[in-house]
Amino acid sequence: MCYNAFMGKKRTSQSTFKSIYSDGFVTPAQYLTEALCFLIARQQGRNLSDKFWEDEEWANFFRRQVVLANELLKDYDIKAILSTLKDRRIKNKIRSLGAKFIIIPVIKEYQKKLDYQNSKVLEVTPKADTTEKPRKPSGDRSILSILRDIDNEQC
């Protein structure tokens, strides 16, 4: 099965991410799987070719990981999962998104941080009115202004 049919050239409501390994757009699950495959290939000291999911070696693995990524995306935000894949505790150990005993605790950490950030109410500071003239100084005059007045009187 060729995943190229599922990877669109244009951004749609489902294909929101720019593919790392092609010139099209992919779903969040496919994007996570591309990131995972990149990590695995790097661990093996290999480079992935463009549209590597069409290669016989990666095709079955890619399809299985997309299914697992969709399962994770039902419960967690993609930002939390991507942060987990980049985490130093995970990126050198991970071989599959199905290794939930390894990745779920770290995903929960990042999800908790994201939820906290999203729940914070941003304080909006009122914008200053730029149409008003600046107010005139009040109070005692500065020494410099007094000296200027004295210089102007002598001239």
Q: Give 42-66 pLDDT, tens digit per residue.
A: 888 888 888 888 888 888 999 999 9
The pLDDT confidence band at residue 100, using thresholds 50, 70 and 90, is confident
Instruction: Flag whether pLDDT at 123 surpasses 70.
Output: yes
Q: Give 24-43 pLDDT, tens digit per residue.
A: 888 899 999 998 988 888 88
Q: Give 80-96 pLDDT, tens digit per residue.
A: 999 999 999 887 888 88
Q: Which residues 6+ apart lie within 8 Å of 102 measured at CB?
A: 90, 93, 94
pTM value > 0.75: no
d(CA 65, CA 87): 19
Q: Token pair of 86, please?
A: 């980049």
Closest-CA residue to 77 (of 39, 41, 116): 116
For 100, how many CA atoms within 13 A lie in the half-sphere containing its CB?
A: 8
Q: Which residues 6+ apart lie within 8 Å of 7 measured at CB?
A: 15, 19, 22, 24, 25, 26, 30
- CB atoms under 10 Å from CB of 19, counted, come to 19
